[in-house]
Structure 1
Amino acid sequence: MAGIEYIIFVVVFLGGLVPTLITLWLNEKVKGSVQNFFNKKLEELKKEHSKELSQFQAELNYLKSKENFKFTKLHERRFDVLQKTFEYLNNNLNLLASLTAPFKILPHGQNYDESEQLASQKYREAHNEFLKYFNHNSIYFDEETEALLLNFFRESGNIFNAYDQKQIYKSVGEKLDREGHINFANAHKKIPEIIHPLKKQIETKFRELLGE
């Protein structure tokens, strides 16, 4: 009788254990499936994010390269403008100095008045051409350099006007007053007093803009 009871106990015990084991096995199976699912999704997200990061980095590199290209072109353009401006500056100064010089060698076949009129016209055209170039390219100068160049135009224009008054009065049959004669005679002295120091300041600013 005891043997039968033992067998029944074992059967009941196993009958209760098997479902538990099956439940544990299913739980572990589900956990494994869920873990594999999340691991797969995580890898997919990593790949997707890595691709987006690579695209973003490529876009940044492109923008950086584009900005560097623009900066290089801007610097090249500024260099060209400074070079051309310096040529205009020297040409205008030389013409003004030649015009206002107290002693001149007249070109062959010209008298004094003809020579003065031609020299005045030549300077006036060069001055206007320089001013026009500056107005079209002033964006390439900083404020201080722009102010120096504007001052050059103003001072050189004042010197020219003081000297050219004699020709203007003469063309209408009038004469300069005493102050006009003094301004005419002293016009050439203003170039080393005013223009040369101003030109030196402009040269210094040009070197700064070029990065020296």
Structure 2
Amino acid sequence: MKNVFSLFRLYLLLLLLGFSCSQKKNQESTTAIANPEVEDQRERKTVLFFGNSLTAGYGIEEDEAFPALIQTRLDSLDLDYRVINGGLSGETTASGLSRLDWFLEEKPEIFVLELGGNDGLRGIPLEETEKNLREIIRSVKNKYPETKILLAGMQIPPNMGQSYTDQFQGMYAKIAEEEGVTLIPFLLEGVAGDPDLNLPDGIHPTAEGHQLVAATVWEYLEPLI
């Protein structure tokens, strides 16, 4: 009889231990699901900067480039956005169009298109540049109709002739109006042509120059946030 009671007590003890462990696991699971950090990470919206070396931050540290500065601004305002820097040095509108789908795997809440400068410097026919920019915009709209699009306008020196230069500059406003997207009239406003704000190549902004670019971008980005 003594052995029976001993076995019964052992059985009860094992049942209690099993219940306690199960309860603990359920509590841990509930805690993980309700973890605000996990929720915040899951709910963060994406701002995708899609461009060339200007976006990539050529010649400076990545955290000094204007997309990173925009991320810092968003964080300082406690806004649940994450910035993706999709800049690639040397990118043209044609090569940008060819790699767009890879970047659209994650839905961008805001898509900032900064391409065309390299097309202009290479004298690529404006019809081709315009066609590619429109196709990029339409591809984003077709996949994510709710995504807000910012088109960064660009200007080039008159190396290809004044007519080409003027048409190039006017192309961005025309596209923005006809495609119904927000236009940043000139991404490098207050920076282009200033040797103190550009690297020795005279094309790419310094870290200080990127601060001004970030301020320009924020002026048009903030209303979309």
TM-score, length of structure 2 as denominator length? 0.35
The structure in which a higher percent of residues are helix is: 1
TM-score, length of structure 1 as denominator length? 0.37
Rg (Cα) greater in structure: 1
